[in-house]
A and B are shown apart, each in its own frame.
Chain A
Amino acid sequence: MNFVLIFLITIFSLSLFFYGRSKTKSIAIEKNIKLNALPKFYGYYLILWCSIPSLVFLLIWSLFEPVIIKSIIIETAANQGAIFNDKNEANLIYEKIKAIHLGTYFGDIDSILRESALAYAKFINLFTNSKVVLIFAIVIVSVIYSLKKINKNNKARDDVEIILKGLLFVSSLIAILTTLGIIFSLLFESIKFFSVINIFDYLFGTNWSPQRAFVRDASSITAAEFEELKDAFGFIPLIAGTTFIAFIAMLVAVPIGLFSGIYMAEYASLKIRRISKPIIEILAGIPTVVYGFFAALTVGPFFRQIGENFGLTVSSESALAAGLIMGIMIIPYVSSLSDDVINSVPQSLRDGSYAIGATKSETIKKVVIPAALPGIIGSILLAVSRAIGETMIVVMAAGLAANLTINPLESTTTITTQIVMILVGDQEFDSPKTQSAFALGLTLFIATLILNYIAQRAVKKYREKYD
């Protein structure tokens, strides 16, 4: 129904565009006046007036209709004599009534349910009809209003500008509100978690074993259970593993990416550049899950084999394999960004250096790189936050056990891996185990935020120095 309405509104407003355009033209000729805007703006004006009020109304209606119907139906059912003790049971009955209405309910239907289902059908009908009527009324009123305005030769161009500005504002508002919503949901769930687990036990604990807290209701936790849980959520091994793997990844990505960026920008001939740049950028397009199984199935076992040859015990899921592959994944980011940054260093600086007798490598080392440094640091920090937030590769290749180790040949785990592990499968939503995922998410979010802040400060400082 809604789609039909939207479709009709769209068609109608589009046809109004042509009407408004030709109408104003003829008004101009008839009354021999100069229009206040180009005819097409009157067309846009009609489109906007016809579509926006009705669509906004439709949106708001659709948001509230189910809620209102639900409360009415539950009340009707209660009046009919239905018994429910809490919200969940009421919801269950409502779902049953809906299913009966749709004909997908196969249980026994008693008289209460039947009556309620009939009432439900009645209300649905009533609401849909009134929705259609109201929307038509709104369309008609707003079209009449806007046609009147047009006949008076209003400043349609300015009005269209104002409406468009409003639309753009609303779009950015939605983006901001969504972000805030995500942050607050993280925050509230984390607060629930920290009401059970002490925040210091979390931040400084060295043991991570959330499975101990499986299927336990946070609200009815006993003292003995709490003692047991207290040291199950230590964050240190996770942040250590995350930093460690990201560090290995950066060891791979920064030199290779930076050097290939320098080669591309300074040495490669146009022909080589034209071929190799897209190839490097293809690396960035490979799905991370593909890197993941490459790490888990090829690189991990390969390291294990080599380790055995040297008499070392190498876990087949090692920090080294995950970090290495993650590094390779990040190379294109570093290389392509630093290539761009180096290219944007003005040629006059290079000329100045050559003119005094510097060689190419001296020029790059002492003039080009320092001038491009803010951008290069920016690209590296971007790569770091990529590495910290990367999930798939570490889930597949780094292991699940939260070992606190600095041996790259052992398996280790990361924040993102643990979030995945916690939320995979059936969940009890109020167990501390599930809530810990939100705490981890919040910590990761704050860590990335701090990283970005530092990055921006660093870049700004260099910029002040060099501009």
Chain B
Amino acid sequence: MNNVKIKSKNLNVYYGEKQALFDVNLDLNEKEVTALIGPSGCGKSTFIRCINRMNDVIDICKVSGNIEIDGVEINDKNLDVVSLRERVGMVFQKPNPFPKSIYDNISYGPKIHGKGETKSELDEIVENSLKKAALWEEVKDRLDEPGTGLSGGQQQRLCIARAISVNPEVILMDEPCSALDPIATAKIEELIDELKKTYTIVIVTHSMAQAVRVSQKTGFFHLGKLIEVGKTEKIFKNPDNKMTQDYITGRFG
């Protein structure tokens, strides 16, 4: 068992009047993939958006409770969100490359955080990030072409490369394969397997099969509550909770 990287304690989230998360207590282990499953609107995405404070962008969203990364409280008004997000990268449901060249898409983050002072340093970061995202061989000859011209799966790997470019510790993935075809999905899953050697990964997914394939630990959310969490094997073979059992066997959701 790896060390605990992220720890949430009594996490509550409200969108205006509506409460989206209820007292979530969840530990995420270092250099491991944790999958979050559950029916739509159950709060999985809301939970991972708390880890990099993306909920700040939404005016009506209020977060109470604690989230610690390496024992440091991040749900703190005085915390520097910019450096938090440098440490916690994110990949979204729909690939969202910037309307810029492939090169500029990757160098965007390092430039913002002052990494890669010289052109050759930047070149190296771009190359490494693309290699880690298993995209380098496909795009190395056309780095100045627009990132939006790639195929859906390539775009998503570009977004993963973009997240890697600032050398984060954690990567959050919000249904990264839901807009992709099976072949592109297989590539991303392979990639996740590789990335977990370096990064702590949290993935939200609607595909039970995907959760089984990529994750070591799984949490099941329902109606804003964390129902059950444990080793992936156990959750899918022998869950403690009746609701989890019903969900993974497809009886609801």
- Spot the interface stretch: A200-208, A351-359, A393-401: A351-359
CB atoms of B100 and A358 under 8 A apart: no
Residues of B within 8 A of A (CB): 52, 54, 57, 59, 81-86, 89-90, 92, 94, 96-100, 108-109, 112-113, 146, 148, 159, 162-163, 165-166
Set B94, B97, B99, B108: member contacting A356, Cβ < 8 A? B108
Ranked nearest first, the 10 interchain pairs of A and B with the lowest CB-CB distance are: A466-B99, A357-B85, A355-B90, A348-B96, A356-B109, A352-B96, A357-B86, A371-B99, A357-B82, A358-B112
- Spot the interface stretch: A181-189, A236-244, A322-330, A362-370: A362-370
CB atoms of B109 and A357 under 8 A apart: yes
Nearest-Cβ distance from residue B22 to partner chain A, whole angstroms: 25
A358 to B81, CA, bound (A): 9
A370 to B108, CA, bound (A): 13
A362 to B59, CA, bound (A): 19
Instruction: Show 12 A/B contacts (Cβ-Cβ < 8 Å), sorted by A.
Output: A346-B96, A351-B54, A351-B96, A352-B162, A355-B90, A355-B92, A356-B86, A356-B165, A358-B108, A370-B99, A370-B100, A465-B146
Nearest-Cβ distance from residue B149 to partner chain A, whole angstroms: 8
Give B146's nearest chain A residue, CB to CB.
A465
Nearest-Cβ distance from residue B134 to partner chain A, whole angstroms: 20
Give B94's nearest chain A residue, CB to CB.
A348
Q: Which residues of A contact B165 (CB under 8 A)?
A: 356
Q: Which residues of A contact B81 (CB under 8 A)?
A: 357
Q: Which residues of B contact A132 (CB under 8 A)?
A: none
Q: Mark A58-96, 1 if CB is under 8 A from B, else 0.
A: 000000000000000000000000000000000000000
CB atoms of B98 and A349 under 8 A apart: yes
Nearest-Cβ distance from residue A167 to partner chain B, whole angstroms: 43
Most buried by A among B81, B94, B96, B166: B96
Q: Which residues of B contact A346 (CB under 8 A)?
A: 96
CB atoms of B54 and A355 under 8 A apart: yes
Set A352, A357, A358: member contacting B92, Cβ < 8 A? A352
Q: Which residues of B contact A351 (CB under 8 A)?
A: 54, 57, 90, 92, 96
Set B94, B99, B112, B159: member contacting A362, Cβ < 8 A? B112
A359 to B113, CA, bound (A): 11
Nearest-Cβ distance from residue A287 to partner chain B, whole angstroms: 39
CB atoms of B52 and A355 under 8 A apart: yes
Q: Is A467 an interface residue (CB 8 A)?
A: yes
CB atoms of A352 and B112 under 8 A apart: no
A11 to B89, CA, bound (A): 72
Nearest-Cβ distance from residue A267 to partner chain B, whole angstroms: 12
Most buried by B among A352, A356, A366: A356
